[in-house]
Structure 1
Amino acid sequence: MGGVRALTPLQAAYAGSREINASHGRTYFLATRLLPPARRPAVHALYGFARVADELVDNPGLDPAGDLLALERALKDAFDGGPTEEPVLLALADTVRRFGIDRDLFGAFLQSMRMDLTVTDYADQDELAEYTHGSAAVIGLMLLPVLGTVSPPSEAAPYASALGEAFQLTNFLRDVGEDLDRGRIYLPADHLAAFGVDRERLTWARVHGPDRAVRRAMAHFAALAHATYRAAEPGIALLDPVSRPCVATAAQLYRAILDEIAAANYNVLTRRAVVPARRRAAIALPGAARCVLARLAGRAT
């Protein structure tokens, strides 16, 4: 009788990235399951790398700047074909080579991670846009070659960037309290000030619960997030048909977070909005049906 075949280092690296995605990114992981099996590992590799970098700034060691620099150097070595002992980088380098992902996007991402070490507030949307370009927009651009397009990628790129930013704004809103505990406020100060809200008021609301002004400010940011999803939506039709159910479902799942925030009367300071499992399933199941139809249509052509 034959034993279980051992995984190659690359297979083990992809399996490890999948575990990171499954453990820390439930919404993304659920949507990714709607992709053709051959494309899922690439998404897991991209998520795994982003999570590793994010952990260096959200749960920093003694020298987080040094840790980020070491990660950047190791990433370059892996991209150049050098050996690496970091499984996430092994899987990522393979994904970048296979799908032709622009390596410069990772530099922009790491620059935003460095900003998290020093920047605690954003005066206006322009300042925040510098951060979200690297932390969110480039993620959409990294994924685009994996998802595939039916038009030139340059046509789909602005929509991919916008969807990444919509996801990020949703995260900012959901995690206001947790980010405040880390000393950070990602919501632009000028928008908050329009409702009479500042860091002091948010800090008070973190303990006592949001007042009317804070709730109104959070409702404003929820509206901005919805508008960003609407701006990104036309890009789904530009994707490979077999990828559309995944992206459409991911957008629906994330917009459901905004629904939960609204249902809680925009209290994001003393509670974290979570989409119930039953609703996640209700969103994902139709996506799975569309996924099957898209694959069948692809085989018929």
Structure 2
Amino acid sequence: MSTTTVSAYSVCTSITREQARNFYYGIRLLPPVKRDALCALYALARRIDDIGDGELAQAEKVAGLAALRAEIEHLHASSDPVLCAVADAARRYPVPVEAFLELVDGVEMDVVGHHYADLDDLVGYCRRVAGTVGRLCLGVFGSRPDPDAESYADNLGIALQLTNILRDVREDLLNGRVYVPQSDLDAFGVQLELDERGTLVDVDGGLTRLVHHSAARARDWYADGLRLVPLLDRRSAACCAAMAGIYRRLLERIDEQPSAVFGARLSLTGREKAVVAARALTGLGA
């Protein structure tokens, strides 16, 4: 590996360690070569997300995403350290680089604003912004032959994104975004709004019931997605189980007390995440 490539991976590792507050607990369970590759994939995915979540005007975000799309399409010609690391990872592993273009499409939906009429509409979005990440990870993990392995990875990513949506429902509303399908809001008689304290209003418990319903649905996606784990080698399985386990633990916490996300952003402690990662490494699962 050239000095330039080593330096590029170092940049990606620093980004991942500093910003992947949940994923790094799983990533660090991988052997060094796979860890480097997954850090590279994360760093590029993070760059795409950061354009969508940044402070630029909408037109500038759209232009920024278009420029990054062009760079991804000419990945091997780039001198950018993150893109160089991704290009090297793609040479070493069967990484579906085109999944990054789907991720750009999903982030662009955030930028221009998208209304989610029903679950199918939301799942389409989740496949772009999270299922893609599952498929990218699978490219590095590798798996025993199974025609459904890619589908499991995709569905596990969707499960994690559905958990994110429940955790961030208040924060997203503050930013003018609503990811809860309109069909669900209508079914539970919910209109997402904040009171004078900035807390989500739960009229007659409708929002609480909606959270329980959404959590149960997310569990079904986890159940299918986690069928990937037995197909992976021990270290990759531990990484996957750790990342999924942290989000599943968060989902259970939200389901136990929906009001915990009505006024703040819920997260697990570092110790709780470390325990989940340790259990995954010893094979106790997610």
For normalisation by structure 1, the TM-score amounts to 0.86
Give the equivalent residue in structure 1 for 2:185: 192
> C-alpha displacement at 1:240, in angstroms?
2.4
On the 8 A contact 2:235/2:281 being kept in 1, the answer is no
Q: Secondary structure at the match of 2:258?
A: coil
Over the matched positions of the two proteins, sequence identity in percent amounts to 34
Aligned to 2:149: 156
Matched, 1:101 2:92: no
1:230-241 aligned within 5 A? 230-241=223-234
The equivalent residue for 1:134 is 128
Instruction: Report Cα offsets for 1:14-73 as digits up to 9, x if no partner.
Output: 111112211221211011111122200111111111111101011142411111111111
| Unaligned stretches of 5+ residues in structure 2 | none
| Superposition CA RMSD, Å | 2.0
Which of 113, 116, 123 pairs up with 2:110?
A: 116
Check 1:220–1:15 CA distance in 2 against 1; reply closer, same or farther (3 A cut).
same
1:245-279 Cα shifts (integer Å, max 9, x gaps):
11112211111111222343343231111112222
CA distance in 1, matches of 2:98, 2:200: 42
Contact 2:211 2:255 in 1 (8 A): no
Q: How far off is 1:205 after superposition?
A: 8.7
> Conserved in 2, the CA contact under 8 Å of 1:210 and 1:267?
no
Name the structure 1 match of 2:66: 69
Q: How many residues align?
A: 279
Aligned counterparts of 2:49 and 2:77: Cα–Cα separation in 1: 24
The residue type equivalent to 2:272 in the other structure is R
Partner SS state of residue 22, structure 2: helix
Q: Partner of 2:8 in structure 1?
A: 13
Q: Within 2, Cα distance between the matches of 1:240 and 1:230? A: 19
Distance 1:225 1:21 in 2: 26
Aligned positions of 1:176-187 closer than 5 A: 176-187=169-180
Pair 1:30-2:21 in alignment: no
CA distance, structure 2, for counterparts of residue 92 and residue 120 of structure 1: 29
Distance 1:266 1:43 in 2: 35
Shift of 1:97: 2.0
1:260 is matched with which residue?
Answer: 253
Structure 1 runs of 4+ off > 6 angstroms?
A: none
Query: Offset at 1:210?
Result: 3.9
Q: Name the larger-Rg structure.
A: 1
Per the alignment, residue 35 of structure 2 pairs with 40
* Structure 1: unaligned runs, 5 residues or longer: 1-6, 292-301
